[in-house]
Each structure stands twice: as C-alpha cells, then as structure tokens.
Amino acid sequence: MIKIRSSEITPEHIYLSRRKFMVGIGALAASSALLAACGTQSSAVKEDTPKDLKISATADELGDALTPFESVTNYNNFYEFSTSKEAVASLSKDFKTSPWTVEVGGLVNKPMTYGFEDILKKFTQQERIYRLRCVEAWSMVIPWQGFPLAELLKEVEPTSQAKYVRFETLYDPEQLPGQNSAWYTWPYAEGLRLDEAMNDLAILSTGLYGKELLPQSGAPIRLVVPWKYGFKSIKSIVKIELVAEQPTSLWMAAAPNEYGFYANVNPMVDHPRWSQASERRIGEFGRRDTLPFNGYEEEVAYLYKDMDLKVNY
C-alpha cells in the first residue's frame, strides 16, 4: 500500500473498472440463471466460475450485492506474493497450506497448538456476509465462513494481564517471496485490543462462497474484522498471542503516520495521501459514500466511546 504512489493508483483503477464491467455482466447472467433454473448452471456462466459455489443470499444486510467470486479471488492484497493485486491469484496457487498449525499462547492459562483440522472440528463454521473495505478505498461484499475469534480466545483463557491480541502470518520466504523485500518487517503481523477481539463480529475465516479459502484469500485461516480497514484482516495465520502491550503491526512499522493501530473505517479521517470519504465497490460504476465503521457502527461504536478517533486512527 505505502509503496504505491498516488500517481499509480488512478490508471489502475480505470483499468480495473473496465475489466470488472466484463466480470459484472457475467455474474449478473450467472445469478439470474441460478434463480431461473434452481441452481443449474447455464452456459452464460463464466467458464472459470466454480460449479460448487454456494450462493445462499445475494446481498448483505444493507441490500448491497455480493461481489462476484471471480473478483473476490482475483483482486487481492497479499504482499507476501506480490504487490500487484491481479498477480496474487496465480503466484499463490501452489502455496502449501497442509499440514498447518496455529499456535495460541502468551498471557493465557491454557496455551494450545491447533492443527487446522482440529479447528474445523472444534469450532462450528457459520456463514457471515461482510463488507470488507481496503484502506486504498475499494471494497467488496463477501460471504465468509468462519467462527467468532472470541470462541477460540475463551478456550485458552486469557489471564488478567492480557490486554491485546497479536496475530502473525507464516514466515517462509521460499514460498512467500515477498518476504525477501526489505521494505517491510516480516512476518506480517497485526493486533486487536482484547475487547475488540472479543466482539462477535470479529471472525476467523476458513472459507468463502461455501468453499475452503484459496491461497490468495489467506488459506487456510485468516482474520476478518469488518469494521476496520482491510489490512487488519491478516491472512494465513500461524500464531495468536495474548500480550500486555499494544502490538506493532507491519503497516504501523512501515509508515506510522499513515497507518494506526485502530484503523477503524472512518470517512471523517483522511489518509494523508487520499480521502477516505468514499469508496469504489468492486464491480460497480462510480463511487459510494464510506460509512462510519464500514456500516457496523451500532455493533462496535461502544468500544471507542471515550476515544478521539482522529488521534487514534
């Protein structure tokens, strides 16, 4: 994000909206075909649309349409593979996500190391349709599968000293060549305050559109925090640590004046290099207004009631 000059952003956005127009038509044809034929795929469906997609709803709770699967899985931020959003899908296709373990420790009574299969067995996967808004002012609506992060945290029993949760992505420069770049402090790390992490909206996701996560989406397990900028939703997690001090994320380390710890979606606080007042919904023309807390204000505003969100950006 930080390394993209604003002069580079505009041409890419124009290019993308043209490309997404094509995708949008295909998806529209696909969804009307699904309605008409009770789930039978028609020849109008784009060839690369997986046949096993689960489409249980067509919109989120605000009535916003789901972003087509093709867009969700071909326009990704995952700097371990590439800084080009269009390149991540192909560069990540052989990423080895099995076996996979997630170590949960730090200030807890019951540290645990979960195999990914144990996680699937232990925590009931639910579907949640969430908007995810990138700090670069684009957004998508995605049907995620996953389970509340709170369920896993309760299992390990945080001690009274635990105030924050720190997350870490796999470190493996052979598979994740972006980690050879000296621009960033690897592995990718993120953090939440413990009460934010315990909010029911924060989930650990293992799938989307009814399929297990593809590598570009953060397989096999990633965080989704829908009221915060997308960079908080860390991918391919191997470590979750309860800590006493506010953790430093990769983005805070890279550019502390641009990326704060809280990173709540806030149309009133601009990024130093661009406005956050509006956003481009992938697959749509034009822009739409950005909502405070990405539209989840009722659920999460209590977490920040005594804080100045211009200071704590």
Ligand X SMILES: Nc1nc2c(c(=O)[nH]1)N[C@H]1C(S)=C(S)[C@@H](COP(=O)(O)O)O[C@H]1N2
Site for ligand X, rule CB under 6 A: 1, 76-80, 132, 134, 169, 188, 217, 230-231, 233-236
Helices in the chain by DSSP H: which ranges? 6-36, 69-72, 88-91, 116-122, 149-156, 194-198, 250-254, 297-300
* Amino acid symbol at 62: L
The item of Mo ion, ligand X, none sharing an interface with residue 234, based on CB under 5 to 8 Å by kind, is ligand X
Minimum distance from residue 161 beta carbon to ligand X (Å):
27
Considering the complex, state which of residue 95 and residue 231 has its C-beta at the smaller distance from ligand X: 231
Minimum distance from residue 35 beta carbon to ligand X (Å):
26
The item of Mo ion, ligand X, none sharing an interface with residue 296, based on CB under 5 to 8 Å by kind, is none
The item of Mo ion, ligand X, none sharing an interface with residue 264, based on CB under 5 to 8 Å by kind, is none
Task: Please give the Cα distance from 263 to 260 (Å, whole number).
Answer: 6
The item of ligand X, Mo ion, none sharing an interface with residue 170, based on CB under 5 to 8 Å by kind, is none
| Burial of residue 40, with CB atoms counted within 10 A of its CB: 0-12 exposed, 13-18 middle, 19 or more buried | exposed
Task: Please give the Cα distance from 147 to 125 (Å, whole number).
Answer: 5
Minimum distance from residue 123 beta carbon to Mo ion (Å):
26
Considering the complex, state which of residue 107 and residue 136 has its C-beta at the smaller distance from ligand X: 136
Considering the complex, state which of residue 76 and residue 294 has its C-beta at the smaller distance from ligand X: 76
* Amino acid symbol at 192: L
The item of ligand X, Mo ion, none sharing an interface with residue 78, based on CB under 5 to 8 Å by kind, is ligand X
Considering the complex, state which of residue 92 and residue 107 has its C-beta at the smaller distance from ligand X: 92
Minimum distance from residue 33 beta carbon to ligand X (Å):
26
Task: Please give the Cα distance from 221 to 247 (Å, whole number).
Answer: 20
- The residue number whose beta carbon is nearest to Mo ion equals 134
SS (H, E, C) 16-76: HHHHHHHHHHHHHHHHHHHHHCCCCCCCCCCCCCCCCCCCCCCECCCCCECCCHHHHCCCC
Residues that bind Mo ion (CB under 5 A): 77, 134-135, 230-231
* Amino acid symbol at 36: A
Task: Please give the Cα distance from 170 to 55 (Å, whole number).
Answer: 31
The item of Mo ion, ligand X, none sharing an interface with residue 74, based on CB under 5 to 8 Å by kind, is none
Considering the complex, state which of residue 80 and residue 158 has its C-beta at the smaller distance from ligand X: 80
- The residue number whose beta carbon is nearest to ligand X equals 230
Look-up: residue for tokens 């299992």? Answer: 155
Cβ neighbors of 181 (< 8 A, separation 6 or more) are 79
Considering the complex, state which of residue 198 and residue 234 has its C-beta at the smaller distance from ligand X: 234
Three-class SS state of 131: strand
The item of ligand X, Mo ion, none sharing an interface with residue 192, based on CB under 5 to 8 Å by kind, is none
Considering the complex, state which of residue 107 and residue 137 has its C-beta at the smaller distance from ligand X: 137
Residue among 165, 188, 167, 164 nearest 176 (CA): 188
Look-up: residue for tokens 């002012």? Answer: 137
Minimum distance from residue 222 beta carbon to Mo ion (Å):
13
